[in-house]
Structure formats: C-alpha cells, structure tokens
Structure 1
Amino acid sequence: MEMEWKRADEAQADHASRVPPGQRLTAGFPVLHHGEVPYYRDMGKWDLRLFGLVEDETVISYGDFMKLPMREFGNDIHCVTTWSKLDNRWDGVPVAVIMEKVKLKPEAKFVMLHAEEGWTTNLPLEDFLRETSFLAVRHNGELLTPDHGYPVRMVVPHLYFWKSAKWLRGIEFLAADKPGFWERNGYHMYGDPWKSERYDFD
C-alpha cells in the first residue's frame, strides 16, 4: 500500500512539473474556436498552399498530403483559456517533410498559418521548424473531428494552443512578423505558456 501511495505521489509531482503557471488539468478536450466549423463533403476541394517567400509556390492536394510520410508524436497541450491536457498522442506529417516541398528565400524569418474562415496565426520560422511541430491528422488514434480541425491542424505544442491552427489551408513565409487574427485582438504575439504570455500586455 505504501508503494502505491509513493507511485501516486510521484505521478502527481510529475504532472505538476508539466503544467505551466495558471493552468488546470483536464481529461477532456475542450472545443474553442472563432467562426463556423467547416464540414468537408468533397475532399477534392481541399488543398494546402505553401507560399510567400519561397522560390516556387506549391499546392498539395488532400490525396497527396495523405501519402506523405507520417509518424506518431506525443505531447502536452496548453490552452490560453487555462486548461492543459497531458499525454496526447497524435499522427501527423513532420514539418521537415513539408519543407521538402519548397525552397525558402533567405529573407524568410516568420510564418503565418492560414485556416478556414480567414483565421490566421503567426509564429517565428524557428518555432515552426522545431522537430516537435507537425501537421496532425489523428488524435489518440482517431481521425480529427471537425470541431478539432479535420482534416489537418497544425500542432506547435510548446506554445499556447491557439497557435496550433485548426482547418489548416495555407502556410505563408514572411520576412517580418505580423499579427494573426487573435494577435490583432489582444493575444500575445508569441504565446509561451511557461511565461504566461497570454495577452499583448503580458
């Protein structure tokens, strides 16, 4: 019995060390978004556009995207609305695979993610290129639901989860940083959960 308590205490301590300030754990997967949820009836109309400061713009069809090499990722996610969800398992395309499709111009330093409904969010190129960043198609063994970004969502787990754009449709490479939708509406330009970078005054 004492060993069971010890293991429980150790697990609790491990969880606590993985939760940023001001966050609370959830076992669920809350749904938060702006605008309507897109429902795709014809996947032939979905594609992913890679554009901006690239030598040649590239468009990847849904069929070609699903043929790209995928792997499993594990991470914790932290929402700016104060919930955290630990031990997520995803399947998706590593950013490195996507970057094989384009050649960046040297002045490219930032990325703007474009999603359905005109939704956008920004991040530095180096954060986009991290080995932990990927384009997800499954969460915990199941295809993403429409509420959670089907067919493809960006996942950037080291930043607040609004940076992990749902319903991804475009990746634009930029020379200078500029705010996306939520950043224009008061959210932090970077969004590090360990620094509580929630709003533009943080």
Structure 2
Amino acid sequence: MSKDTIDRVPPGQTLTEGFPVLHYGSVPYYNDMSKWDFKLFGLVEEEATISHKDFMALPRQEFNNDIHCVTTWSKLDNVWEGIAVSEVMKRIKLKPEAKYVMLHAEHGWSTNLPLEDFLRETSFFGIRHNGQLLTPEHGYPVRMVVPHLYFWKSAKWIRGVEFMEKDKPGFWERNGYHMYGDPWLSQRYDFD
C-alpha cells in the first residue's frame, strides 16, 4: 500500500474494493415515483416539498471521495453523480436559529448533523455511484453523502431534512453510535 493510500485510511479501517451493503430493516422499493417527494422543514421561513421529477431535474455534478464505514471498511476513489446541497438549499430560507439538521429517511430512519457539516461543499445528494444508478440496497433513488463522517451519516433513502436549533440523536445515535462520527478520531460509539 502506498503512503498516499495509507494517509487516506483512518485508524482501525480496512480497505475494500467492494461496496458492502449494511442497513437495519427492510429495503424500500418504489413502484410509483410520482408518490416520492422530498421535504425541507423545521426552522425555515417556508417549508418546501420537491417532487421526484423536480428533484431529478436539479443540476447535477460529479463528486470524488473516499468513504469510511463505522464497521471498519473504507472504499477509496468513489465517483458519484449527485446534487449539491447548495442547489437544494436555494428552495428555502433558513431561520437564524437553525444550527443542526436531522436527515429523515424511509421507515422512520434518521441521523443528525451540525448544519455546517450538512452545508459543506463536499456534502451532496447522491444519485449514481461509479457510473451506475444507485441500487435499492444502496439508497435508490437518493442518498445523502457526507464523506468526512462515518458512512451511517450518509442516510440512504433520504426523504427530507429538518432544520433544528438543538442537536438531537437520530436512529443509530439513540442506539449507541457517536453523535458526530469523525472517522479520523474513531468516533464510532457514544463512549468514544
């Protein structure tokens, strides 16, 4: 392994060439995308709902990153097609007290982020991974991608973003995972 590669792998992580599938509960499958929408709500001047058709029509770009899973695998040199968070944020105006977000996904799944992490230029809504449309197991039709944090923060099957004044735990955080999840600090669990 080259020094460049070693420098890109956080402590306790192992490289994989594959793209492991990990999740809790069942995988959602969509038969009618006209019923899919995306909500922006909470501490906003006016809530917004974006249809699947309008969401998929937003400008896309390519993102390149490494991803790190809390279960200790890392996958380098991922190429994504996605929608920058800044594009979606054009739909709303935040209230000044908004400091955190809760990402809401199918089956009541959620995860929390500080607003500044959500708004980073490296965070985006992923549609395609390494040239292929996301499969249902990997979050089709849209997953959040926050590459600087452990991959559980990159919610699969995302359906909305709630803007909040105070941080609160999402699904995995309520079940013992770290509230932030920095792979470089090995923030896997709440006792880390």
Same fold (TM over 0.5): yes
The residue number in structure 2 matching 1:74 is: 64
Equivalent-residue separation in structure 1 for 2:119 and 2:109 (angstroms) = 21
TM-score between both structures, scaled by the size of structure 2:
0.99
Equivalent-residue separation in structure 1 for 2:80 and 2:38 (angstroms) = 19
The residue number in structure 1 matching 2:13 is: 23
Q: 1:107 aligns with which of 91, 97, 116?
A: 97
Moved over 2 A (4+): none
Equivalent-residue separation in structure 1 for 2:36 and 2:133 (angstroms) = 16
Mapping of residues 138-153 of structure 1, within 5 Å: 138-153=128-143
User: What is the alpha-carbon root mean square deviation over aligned residues?
Assistant: 0.6
Ranges in structure 1 where 5+ consecutive residues have no aligned partner? 1-10
Partner amino acid for 2:191? F
TM-score between both structures, scaled by the size of structure 1:
0.94
The residue number in structure 1 matching 2:153 is: 163
1:129 aligns with 2:116: no
Ranges in structure 2 where 5+ consecutive residues have no aligned partner? none
The residue number in structure 2 matching 1:177 is: 167
* Deviation for aligned residue 1:105: 0.3
Q: Alignment identity in percent?
A: 75
SS for the counterpart of 2:62 is: strand
Larger Rg: 1
Residue by residue, what CA displacement relative to the aligned partner does 1:70-113 show, whole Å, maximum 9, x if unpaired? 10000000000000000000000000001100000000000000
Q: How many residues align?
A: 192
